[in-house]
Amino acid sequence: MNMDNLKTWLVIFLVVALAGGMLGPMIWSNNDSNSALVATDTNSTTNVSNTVDSQVFEYSTEFDANVIKVEKTVRFYSDINLSKITSIDDVDKVVGKITGILRITKSEFFPYLDKQYAYSAEITLRDGADLTAIGTELKDIVYFTGQQSLLKYVTVSPPEKIELTLDNNFSRNYSFSTKSIPVLVGGSVSVNDLVKVHGTIKLQNNDIILVELFGENVAQNQFMFDINLPIKSFDKDLIFNATRNTIFFADKNNLENDFNKIDSNIMFNLTNTGKISVMVDLNNQNDLNFITDLNQLNINSTLNNNILEITTDQNMMLVNSLILKYFDENKITYPTETISGKVNEDKYNSLKELLETNYSLTSKKLAYFDLAKVFSIDLNKEVTFEKSSFTTMVNMTDVLDQNVNLSIYAVASGDTAQIRLAIEK
């Protein structure tokens, strides 16, 4: 599997399995009274229109930083069975009774994949609280189902400058005006530990609108290995991903109605990249005329390294006709619309027939594997996995008991380890 496919399927799997997409609600926003993050732009973009400064841009970033404080607050996420609950207070009261928990704040239910709900809360710990024991008790609460995560709030000291990247096409340097920023970290972490921070920062002009940053302790031993393992069982659901390039986006309600005719239990997420990109040459009069026409029509656009980007929240029929007037299609990249989710295997063929009319469809099975321990060449020792079984996506042609060649990424702390990602080779 090449790297592009790996990234695509990893994103889909995280959304469906509540492993990644679920870990990204707001950490700090400009509506939070604790938020005082302001960044200094040291390498600004070129604005094509007069109104582009009001737009919000989402950048990705990655950097190393030292932990200067481990907070007493953690953030907890879990799938939840709403049929057993009359109000969120029911859940808060049960969670709050666990030994070591001082209080529960910012609890909420929120949907993902339309028909599944999750519970999220900030938990303040008492002095000396055993987070491992708390995690065990949380798993025993009858309201919670499926995946769970406990992430620690830490404060880190960021570098003097960080690099922000916009859609892999443009990067800029930024400096925080504060000497500390909040990060959510999984696993064990202590003051002075070096963590690898990654995430997104949304900017409007030079103001930070939202910071979503997560970190991994560099001191934890990361290792990778390849292994052949037999498939022990399959999940009854299949993972699907359907894509197309278009400016005529599907209506979510209509799509849900079509899915309900097949199976009311289909869970899905509908997204699009939200912009048309055009390759332009500022030394070419034709291209300059196009930009002039855009501005005269009050169409907002942004130029990054000869890529002109136009958001799709504007008059797309007008924009598209204007683009085709000036450019060949090989210079145009239309927005990508994606439908990803899971469907019962018995209903898959009907879903496939519906989607393949307009979309490019790829699908995977969810397979279960057993692995209790492994000798790591990277660490030069044997490690035992905290969970002796794991789930990952495999090809549709794979069958029960078949040996599958897997590439596995894991993180060890002492002689125990957690599998973070497994990909069929």
Distance (Å, rounded) from C-alpha 378 to C-alpha 223?
6
What is the per-residue pLDDT for 55?
64
Q: How many Cα neighbours within 13 Å face the side chain of 330?
A: 0
Q: What is the pLDDT of residues 344-358, one digit of tens each?
A: 999 999 999 999 999
Distance (Å, rounded) from C-alpha 215 to C-alpha 196?
5
Inform me whether the pLDDT recorded for 53 exceeds 60: no
Q: Give 38's DSSP letter.
A: B
Q: What is the mean pLDDT of residues 12-18?
A: 43
Distance (Å, rounded) from C-alpha 143 to C-alpha 379?
39
What is the per-residue pLDDT for 316?
85
User: Which pairing describes strands 207-217 and 181-186: parallel, antiparallel, or unpaired?
Assistant: parallel
Q: What is the pLDDT of residues 378-413, one digit of tens each?
A: 888 899 998 889 999 999 999 999 999 999 988 887
Lowest mean pLDDT among 46-55, 92-101, 115-124, 235-244: 46-55
Q: What is the pLDDT of residues 260-279, one digit of tens each?
A: 999 998 988 888 888 899 99
Q: Can you say whether the dihedral through the CA atoms of 330, 335, 341, 345 is positive or negative? A: negative
Q: 86 φ, ψ to 5°?
A: -95, -30
Question: 61, 75, 64: which is closest to 199 by C-alpha?
Answer: 61
- Residue 103 in tokens: 């209080």
* Mean pLDDT score of the chain: 82
Domain layout of the chain by residue ranges = 3-218, 220-273+335-425, 275-334
Question: 166, 202, 197, 163: which is closest to 180 by C-alpha?
Answer: 197
Q: Give me the amino acid identity at 204.
A: Q
Question: For the chain, what percent of residues have pLDDT higher than 70?
Answer: 84
With contact defined as beta carbons under 8 Å apart, do 371 and 390 qualify? Answer: yes
Distance (Å, rounded) from C-alpha 371 to C-alpha 384?
9
**pLDDT bracket for residue 188 (50, 70, 90):** confident
CA 206 to chain centre: 24
Inform me whether the pLDDT recorded for 122 exceeds 60: yes
Indicate yes or no: pTM above 0.85.
Answer: no
What is the per-residue pLDDT for 169?
65
Residue 58 DSSP SS3: strand
Q: 58 φ, ψ to 5°?
A: -105, 120
Q: 364 φ, ψ to 5°?
A: -140, 155
Question: 29, 63, 78, 41: which is closest to 157 by C-alpha?
Answer: 63
What is the per-residue pLDDT for 177?
78
Inform me whether the pLDDT recorded for 136 exceeds 80: yes
Please, what is the end-to-end C-alpha distance for the chain in angstroms? 6
Q: Give me the amino acid identity at 9.
A: W
With contact defined as beta carbons under 8 Å apart, do 200 and 60 qualify? Answer: yes
Lowest mean pLDDT among 2-6, 33-37, 54-58, 151-155: 33-37
Q: What is the mean pLDDT of residues 122-141?
A: 90
Q: Give 134's DSSP letter.
A: H
Helix, strand and coil content of the chain, in percent to the nearest 5, comes to 20, 50, 30
Angle at 391 between CA 386 and CA 396, to 5 degrees: 160
Distance (Å, rounded) from C-alpha 109 to C-alpha 258?
26
- Residue 309 in tokens: 């980007």
